[in-house]
Amino acid sequence: MATILASTSQAAAATTTTSAFAFNADNEVIASCTNGATPPNSGCQVILQASVDNVNWNNLDRRSFGVAPSQLYYQTFELAQYTGGQSGGAPTVLGVLQPAAGWLYYRLQFAGNDTQAVTVAATDADPIEVQVVTLAGTTATTGGAIGAWSPPQGGPILITNLVIYSTANSTGAANISAGVAANATTSSATLVNAQALGSAANTAIFSGTGTSATVGSILTGTQAVTFTGSANSSGYAGKAYITYIKP
């Protein structure tokens, strides 16, 4: 979590504008406002602004905080709503309104708080994402034959957990391995190493995130998470749940 605006006192009816901050499309920007013992007549406001040149700024979204005394309030902006749409999804209405080149700069402006000073601050957060990957058994034992996944927004990402849940297990004696590989057709076992696929459904749940001695949980460039069987895995079906952070 990076600081956009360190906690600062904003005088009554004053305006505080941050510098343009670095961002990823899937960041969450968290703004806060704290009222004093005497609340303002009108609550603090925070405006998300965007620009293509870091000179001319457009108001994208305005949020209002509450007015209770001695109360800390939060407002959260999901930047994917303003940068063309959620990762892997269709553009939002706000995304369609952006310039063809996209917004290149974002900043926050705090205003409002008529009659009383408030304390304002802002940070950005790297939200935890969960990706579901469908897995299917096959006669092939080549890398990624059971399944493979690369993040739609590119790397690097930090994988914090991987769970493989089997709904129909292989009737053979195959093992499954999963890990971060150079590409989608290379096998890897940095996350799950040769776990047996049994013969009963809903019984095989495997998890792993690599160890501190490896970099198996960090995915960069064109790397992919691949799922590979050691032998014929026909009949197998399942899903992988990959939990990750985009730093």
* Section 9-14 average pLDDT: 95
Choose the final residue of a domain: 125, 141, 176: 125
Q: List Cα–Cα distances, 22 to 25, 55, 91, 156, 217, in angstroms.
A: 10, 16, 21, 16, 24
Q: Is residue 89 predicted with pLDDT exceeding 50?
A: no
Write down the pLDDT at residue 215. Answer: 61
Q: How confident is the model at residue 173 (pLDDT cuts 50, 70, 90)?
A: confident
* Section 160-185 average pLDDT: 88
Looking at the 3D structure of the chain, how many domains does it have?
Answer: 2
Domain holding 13, by residue range, is 2-125
DSSP 8-state secondary structure symbol assigned to residue 91: P
Residue 182 shares a structural domain with residue 113? no
- pLDDT, tens digit, 9 for 90 and up, residues 151-172: 876 778 888 888 888 888 888 7
Residue 47 shares a structural domain with residue 111? yes
Choose the final residue of a domain: 78, 105, 125: 125
Higher pLDDT residue, 84 or 64? 64
Among residues 180, 147, 140, 152, the alpha carbon closest in space to that of 166 is found at 147
Residue 25 shares a structural domain with residue 81? yes
Element (DSSP H or E) covering residue 83: none
CATH number of the structural domain spanning residue 6: 2.60.120.680
* Range in 125-129, 174-178, 224-228, 234-238 with the lowest mean pLDDT: 125-129
Choose the final residue of a domain: 84, 105, 125: 125
**Beta-sheet strands, E only, within 169-223:** 175-181, 192-196, 205-207, 218-219
* Section 180-187 average pLDDT: 94
Given the structure tokens 């991987």, which residue do they identify? 162
CATH number of the structural domain spanning residue 186: 2.60.120
pTM: predicted TM-score of the whole model, two decimal places: 0.58
